[in-house]
Amino acid sequence: MTTSPASKRVKTSPPLIGTHNGHFHADEALAVYLLRLLPAYCPSNLLRTRDPTLLSTCHTVVDVGGEYDSTRNRYDHHQRTFNTTFPARETKLSSAGLVYLHFGKAIIAERTGLDPSHTDTDILWRKLYADFIEAIDANDNGIPVYPPHEVSALTKRFNDSGITLSSLVSDLNNDFSISAPPTNTLETETTNNTSPSRPQDEEDARFLTASDLMGISFLRKLHGYHTSWLPARSTVLAAYESRFEVEPQGRILLFREPTPWKDHLYTFESASSSGGKADAQVLYVLYPESADAGAKWRIQAVPVGKDSFESRKPLPEAWRGVRDEELSAVAGVEGCVFAHASGFIGGNVSEKGVREMARMAVEM
């Protein structure tokens, strides 16, 4: 059966995505990748140009064109009047944030199998924005993490700016002519050609590498939040609500299996305090090293904040850096395995032993 020329054109002409050429950034690199995660854009080609005439031929344009109009699939954020933010956040969006704002739930549903209207989809949508997309928006819009007046007197101990995703994308703007190990990137191509023989083609190829870097990082985050972080939410809530059964003041949290607890603990504590309760903070979290029978147990001090290395209450000074029988003698608890030199974590061979370590630590 023959197919008409018109239907052939429809079948082989997926929506064309446009963005600017020249120096590229993390936001449009991610925006393009996010669009291509959707079935409608999966086969889409990419046109990188600043020519308004050529951009007008594109179905969707990101990070260029001076227009934000979702009804026309135009997602630029450089207009002087632009001030759109994500719900309940204050950071002005970049092209990545704009695409995520409009297509994020559909992308999450496509990758996880959840219904777009499901509560879990909304939870993941907001979590991924707060923990991943927002920093990209802020970086592209020149918004600092801290108010300048609060850190003006601080000096960094070392330079960490070179290890961020935005920095790694920026590095890809430089033509790296030395042979590098092969990488496994998604099969993508621009509309310009199929082999990078001209300067623009080489630049486009580097942009696609940057797009893969940002997109695969996003997918890893989504996978982790969906398969580990989200299921742990109910587990942490149950442990948090039963903490007074472990210790009268609720300062010790107990899990029966390894669980990603930090994010959820801070969320539940914040909700509890905002509700007018004045419960004591959780100081230690107890859990087995693995789900295997007979696994050793850990006691971990809760950090003062999610990204902090400082503990609310480190393990007792006398225990730190001591191991095995010597630690058992110092602590007066049988079965001790170790206490880290900084006091942020320790171990015991049994649940009974680690609970006793925690009971003593909260009072010392």
Does the pLDDT of residue 306 top 80, yes or no?
A: yes
| Contact call for residues 114 and 108 (beta carbons, < 8 A) | yes
pLDDT at residue 96 greater than cutoff 80: yes
Q: What is the pLDDT of residue 225?
A: 96
How would you class 216 by CB atoms within 10 Å of its CB: exposed for 0-12, middle for 13-18, buried for 19 or more?
middle
Q: Is the pLDDT of residue 190 over 80?
A: no
Q: Stretch 12-31: mean pLDDT, rounded?
A: 94
Most confident option among 172-186, 275-289, 331-345: 331-345
Q: In the beta sheet, which residues pair with residue 323? A: 338
Predicted pLDDT at 7: 39
Q: Taking 90 as the threshold, does the pLDDT of residue 198 lie above it?
A: no
Task: Return phi, psi of residue 299, to 5°.
Answer: -120, 120
pLDDT for the residue numbered 197: 54
Looking at residue 9, what is its pLDDT? 43
Q: What is the SS3 string spanning 88-140?
A: CCCCECCHHHHHHHHHHHHHHHHHHCCCCCCHHHHHHHHHHHHHHHHHHHHHH
Are 43 and 29 in contact by the 8 Å Cβ rule? The answer is: no
The pLDDT value given to residue 186: 42
Where does the pLDDT of residue 175 fall: very low under 50, low under 70, confident under 90, or very high at 90 and above?
confident
Cα atoms in the Cβ-side hemisphere of radius 13 Å centred on 111: 27
151 compared with 200, residue with greater pLDDT: 200
147 has pLDDT over 90:
no
